[in-house]
Structures are given as structure tokens and as C-alpha cells.
């Protein structure tokens, strides 16, 4: 399979405290989304941030990995819901660092119990390129539950 390139562009004006930027995706999936320091570390007020974009990337990457892992185990999922929460924290010296990305998954799938699903979710995270990268410097956690009880519905 050939290599794949994806591109995004940002325009930033002014200094970091009072300036602002706008972000666009080359595919056109999103265009001109505004962002700023204040909305990154305080209330978002409708503005995205690097950490929110990372959370979206991680959730999408993990959802695909989990779909693949379940299908390989003979358990194709009907429906998966994945939430990723990325936490940015201030560290010594006043700089900021991404300290964790927490993955929560709810799966509608038959033929597996919750312990089995949790094992497959952990394997899916290990197979997701972003989990592996983030784990080098921050905590990645995975919790998977079955939708509608312990045997699925």
C-alpha cells in the first residue's frame, strides 16, 4: 500500500498572548477554524485547539483499530462509540505538556464478554499509531464496555 500524505495549513497573526490563528485542512473537511491561546487553555468559546485536534485524531485512529481488531477476532462490531480526552497540564517552569489521552469505548457486538472486549481494546490501542506515539511521553488509558449488558444484545 502506498504512503499517504495529509496536510493542514495555519495562518497566525500577532504575539501568542493576544494573537490568533486559523486552521484549514487540505481535504476541505474543515476550513478557517479560529484558535487562540486563551481559548486553548481556558474556556474554548467555540474555538478548537491543538489538543482538541489531537483528541479527534486519536479517537478516529483508535475506532478504526478497534473495528479491525474485533473483525479479526470474528466479532465484527455493529456500532462503536469512542471518546478521547486529551489533557494539557502546566508543568514545572510554567510550560505546558500533554500528560494523557484517555480512550473510552462502548461497543455493540455479540459473542464477547466485557473482559474479552477490554483485552481486544487494549490490543487495538497497541495497534493504533497514535497510541504508540503518545505513550512515549504521556499516559494512554483504554476502557471498553459492552452496550446493553455483558453479552451484547
Nearest approach, Cβ of residue 153 and other proteins (Å): 16
Query: Cα–Cα distance between 64 and 67 in angstroms, integer?
Result: 5
Nearest approach, Cβ of residue 23 and other proteins (Å): 5
For other proteins, the closer of residues 56 and 114 by Cβ is 56
For other proteins, the closer of residues 139 and 150 by Cβ is 139
Classify 100 as helix, strand or coil. Answer: strand
Contacts of residues 42-48 at CB distance under 8 Å and 24 or more positions apart, as own/partner, are 48/23
For other proteins, the closer of residues 119 and 126 by Cβ is 126
Nearest approach, Cβ of residue 114 and other proteins (Å): 19
Helices (H), 91-147: 114-126, 129-135
Amino acid at each position: 500500500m502506498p504512503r499517504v500524505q495529509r496536510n493542514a495549513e495555519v495562518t497566525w497573526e500577532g504575539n501568542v498572548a493576544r494573537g490568533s490563528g486559523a486552521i484549514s485542512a487540505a481535504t476541505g473537511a474543515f476550513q478557517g477554524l479560529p484558535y487562540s491561546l486563551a481559548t486553548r487553555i481556558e474556556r474554548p468559546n467555540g474555538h478548537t485547539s491543538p489538543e482538541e485536534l489531537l483528541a479527534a485524531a486519536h479517537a478516529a485512529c483508535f475506532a478504526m483499530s478497534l473495528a479491525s481488531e474485533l473483525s479479526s477476532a470474528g466479532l465484527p462490531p455493529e456500532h462503536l462509540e469512542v471518546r478521547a480526552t486529551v489533557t494539557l497540564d502546566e508543568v514545572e517552569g510554567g510550560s505546558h505538556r500533554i500528560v494523557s489521552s484517555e480512550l473510552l469505548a462502548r461497543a455493540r457486538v455479540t459473542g464477547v464478554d466485557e473482559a474479552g472486549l477490554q483485552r481486544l481494546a487494549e490490543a487495538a490501542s497497541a495497534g493504533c499509531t497514535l497510541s504508540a506515539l503518545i505513550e512515549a511521553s504521556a499516559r494512554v488509558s483504554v476502557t471498553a464496555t459492552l452496550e446493553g449488558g455483558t453479552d451484547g444484545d
